[in-house]
Structure 1
């Protein structure tokens, strides 16, 4: 095989992804590598040179065992829907032609096929995986990727407004495995909004939970310090305390009580009897202090 994959994902998606079933059909033809171009919906932004070189050596020895999925463009050009990494490796290996599955796919089908093909890989970093899952969500909902997060949040708050869309999302993310779409949008989708230096650290292996904390910091120098601390073993809690240091506890009991009383949640959390007792005590304190 020329890549490490998780075929179980593709199997679970059978019948759910229109157009992607073509990935399992025999190669229809071969095309010159120079007639192909990267896909519009490729979730992967980075191809590690060492990984491409390893794949190129495998291609030289065994050829390309899984054809690329492409769709026709104008003037004899073709867009790679799935398989850009194999195409790049084929060029490094000196191949002039590659096996392809030629399909007429809509943008929605191409977007979904590209995302699913990448999600079957084991070496995706978190940024790439989040981008791919967001493409799946966008295609499932029929909205641009830039609008998918807002739509997911809206459906999470008011699922009754579009139960059919909720059912489609449940089925698609259930087939993909690992997390529900609700968990995805609440916990990991924000990775794509992180500053570039933090995203780069995630691509290099930084835990996304630590990245989300560091990403709150506006100052680039402070972010660099926190990224270094994370690389040296700082835990999520340690980073959280550095970004939001706990307020010192006042040794003055009057200040402590005053601070609690100004917090609306303090009185709101009391039952009726305790609230009346607090109000009586406050009245007594006011009488002791005299006129303001």
Structure 2
């Protein structure tokens, strides 16, 4: 039953490859409630608008009807926004009568077929697929998957449905998803913004554990200098580093330099020998 329903939901997205059935005014469309994207880059929208002016919209939007002759965009909001920038009055659409579960699945899968999603958007789209498969709100999907991971015998049909859904999406299983990347949606806004700009999600998850916003900013700046995941983890796991160490805090200042691989790399052989000698003296004093 669940497998058949899932096949039907994914088929809704496959309809996007079919010829457009009609055109509708851009003003009669509104953004979809299940859109995984929350950020539309102005530069790429301008590029798409320029392409639309030259070639038109090559792939129709998928919409579902609303009252009063209006339509909700299920898939294709970016094309709709670019069409408005390009000055189009109408856009080609495929009109489908979809329930919320079907619309949520179609929006998620259509976005996952794109190559320019950032990690935040991709994780949100995969979460929508999971929520639609489990027939639960997105806010409950991760907890439900953790429960199924612990006790798969409790609902083997749901486990099979998740296996099939994530298998069709590729890249990762649903178990890997909840253990590794799902947590990015719980990151503080400043760290999520950095992920959208290209920050490695593994580094983002480490920085996200830091409560102080000033410390997070310092760590985010450090990522621009090429700090590794292991170095970042050691830095966050060690003593807290204030965002702006004072001159009266040599413990913090020296500790930060010792943990910084770049600071160590700048030492020549003579200076490195001196530092190692001082460290041995310091170790003896602390153990005395």
Range class of TM-score, shorter chain: 0.7 to 0.9
Specify the SS of the correspondent of 2:67. Answer: coil
Cα distance, 1:219–1:228 mapped onto 2, change above 3 Å:
same
| Equivalent residue, structure 2, for 1:130 | 123
| Equivalent residue, structure 2, for 1:161 | 154
Which digits, 9 at most, give the CA deviation of each residue in 1:20-39, with x for residues without a partner?
Answer: 33222221110000000000
| Equivalent residue, structure 2, for 1:65 | 58
Q: Does the 8 A contact of 2:9 with 2:102 survive in 1? A: no
Q: Does the 8 A contact of 1:195 with 1:215 survive in 2? A: yes
Which digits, 9 at most, give the CA deviation of each residue in 1:69-94, with x for residues without a partner?
Answer: 00011112110000000000100000
Higher relative helix content = 2
Any stretches of 5+ residues in structure 2 without a counterpart?
Answer: 1-5, 240-254, 256-282
| Equivalent residue, structure 2, for 1:216 | 209
Shift of 1:117: 0.6
Shift of 1:14: 6.6
Which digits, 9 at most, give the CA deviation of each residue in 1:156-198, with x for residues without a partner?
Answer: 1111100000101101101100000000000000000000000
| Equivalent residue, structure 2, for 1:46 | 39
Distance in 1 (alpha carbons) for counterparts of 2:8 and 2:135:
18
| Equivalent residue, structure 1, for 2:267 | none
Distance in 2 (alpha carbons) for counterparts of 1:146 and 1:15:
24
| Equivalent residue, structure 1, for 2:272 | none
Q: Is 1:105 matched up with 2:72? A: no
Distance in 2 (alpha carbons) for counterparts of 1:218 and 1:49:
31
Distance in 2 (alpha carbons) for counterparts of 1:63 and 1:124:
23
Distance in 1 (alpha carbons) for counterparts of 2:105 and 2:92:
21
Q: Of 79, 82, 85, which residue of structure 2 is paired with 1:92?
A: 85
Q: Of 72, 76, 82, which residue of structure 2 is paired with 1:83?
A: 76
Distance in 1 (alpha carbons) for counterparts of 2:171 and 2:117:
14
Runs of 4+ in 1 over 4 A off after TM superposition: 13-16
Report the TM-score, using the length of structure 2 for normalisation.
Answer: 0.80
Q: Is 1:173 matched up with 2:160? A: no
Shift of 1:208: 0.2
Shift of 1:18: 4.6
Q: Of 218, 226, 229, which residue of structure 1 is paired with 2:222?
A: 229
Q: Which is greater in Rg?
A: 1
Any stretches of 5+ residues in structure 1 without a counterpart?
Answer: 1-12, 256-292
